[in-house]
Amino acid sequence: MSQSTTKPGDMTITAPVQVHQEDKPLIYVNGRIVPRSQATVSVYDHGLLYGDGVFEGIRVYNGRIFKAQQHLDRIWASAEAIGLKIHISPKEMLDLQRKCIEANEIVNGYIRMIVTRGEGTLGLNPNLCPVPGIICIADQIRLYPQELYENGMKVVVAERPRIPVECLDPRIKSLNYLNNILAKTEALDKGLFEVIMLNTEGYVCEGSGDNIFLVKDGVVITPPTDASILEGITRRFVMELCAKMGITVREELFRIETLLDADEVFLTGSAAEIIAATEVEERASKGGATTRISEGEGPVTNKLRQAFTDVVTSADVPED
């Protein structure tokens, strides 16, 4: 992050704003664990030049890597989908994650695992990037202010649709997140934190960084995995919790009208965890009306969030 000392467009050098100490966290980059200030990659890395690479966002609870195996499986699946061969084993990647947690004494936190295409030429050709780049950052994350977890938040439907499966399947967790960032900007510009993205056929798919669920008459519904969504690991866990708790859960396509008619809406993600969306603003192109879904967090969302919290604060947080 930098703070401009001049007007946009001037050539004056900008002064960095320190959001972290320079030496923390200790970060794994391409074979070494180094202080943050030395954690650098080549400007020829195609991860930087083209968003060519894959990543995972993973929670650490009670010193354990939550759903570690599922994150390993997903990053390997994402890499395979873009023809990127990860040159270390899943066990080695997990060891890296553990080393980074230890080095930074993290008990509850967040891991960002990144595999880039690696250093290449200025052209697009990925075959000219012989060695993938591997980065592991163990740090903290808070996606939304705490009070929104208690009271729920307002979200807006994005004008920008989610990228269609046939262009760049959102099931691939690639470093190319501009579709999500530009959608999220639609919320930020309104002073909100999150958007609901529709796919190009007008069905609800997900948030910019989380999956979406609705609750209607006690039944929990979420879009299916081929609806232009990331197949979220928290999404899967919440579906399992529903099954365990005797709550009917279904994967079903639905449009915005169905969402607005729901009793409850909530979002899930590794970073987001579980958070209620209590108000939804329609797209400006559709009139921009705001619908209240629920007064605060609804009872089903609350039960699921409680069950989720029970698991992640327990001594044996599941790593598989």
| Phi, psi angles (nearest 5°) of residue 162 | -70, 145
CA neighbor of 78 nearest in space, from 211, 176, 164:
176
Task: Build a one-symbol-per-residue string for 259-298: x at contacts with ligand PMP by CB under 6 A, - elsewhere.
Answer: ---------xxx----------------------------
Is the Cβ–Cβ distance between 173 and 161 less than 8 Å? no
Q: Among 184, 235, 283, 305, which residue sits at the site for ligand PMP (rule: CB under 6 A)?
A: 235
- Site membership for ligand PMP, residue 234 (CB under 6 A): yes
CA distance 153 to 55: 27
Using CB under 6 A, pick the residue from 53, 120, 223, 232 that binds ligand PMP.
232
Largest interatomic CA distance in the chain: 62
Which residue type sits at 204?
A: V
Cβ density class 71-110: b for 16+ within 10 Å, e for less: bbebbbebbeebebebeeeeeebbebbbebbeebebeebb
Min. distance of Cβ 299 from ligand PMP in angstroms? Answer: 23
Query: Which residues make Cβ contacts (< 8 Å) with residue 265, sequence separation at least 6?
Result: 212, 213, 214, 215, 259, 276, 277, 278, 280, 293, 294
Closer residue to ligand PMP (CB): 109 or 209? 209
Task: Quote helix, strand, coil % in the chain, to nearest 5.
Answer: 30, 25, 45
Tokens of residue 161, six digits? 């649709």
Residues 161-180 touching ligand PMP, rule: CB under 6 A, are 180
Give the interface segment with ligand PMP, choosing from 30-38, 148-156, 230-238, 254-262 (CB under 6 A): 230-238
Question: Under the criterion CB under 6 A, does residue 210 sit at the interface with ligand PMP?
Answer: yes
Q: Does 109 bind ligand PMP (CB under 6 A)?
A: no
At 10 the three-state DSSP class reads coil
Catalytic (active site) residue 286? no
Q: Least distance to ligand PMP from the beta carbon of 135, Å? A: 16
Of the pair 180, 199, the CB lying nearest ligand PMP is at 180
Q: Is residue 198 a contact point for ligand PMP (CB under 6 A)?
A: no
Task: Single out the residue of 155, 233, 274, 280 in contact with ligand PMP (rule: CB under 6 A).
Answer: 233
CB of 199 to ligand PMP, least distance (A): 12
Identify which of residues 116 and 211 has a Cβ nearer to ligand PMP in the complex. 211
Considering only residues 20 to 79 of the shown chain, the ones binding ligand PMP according to CB under 6 A are: 57
| Rounded CA separation 81/70 (Å) | 16
List the catalytic residues: 173
Positions touching ligand PMP (CB under 6 A) are: 57, 180, 206, 209-211, 230, 232-235, 268-270
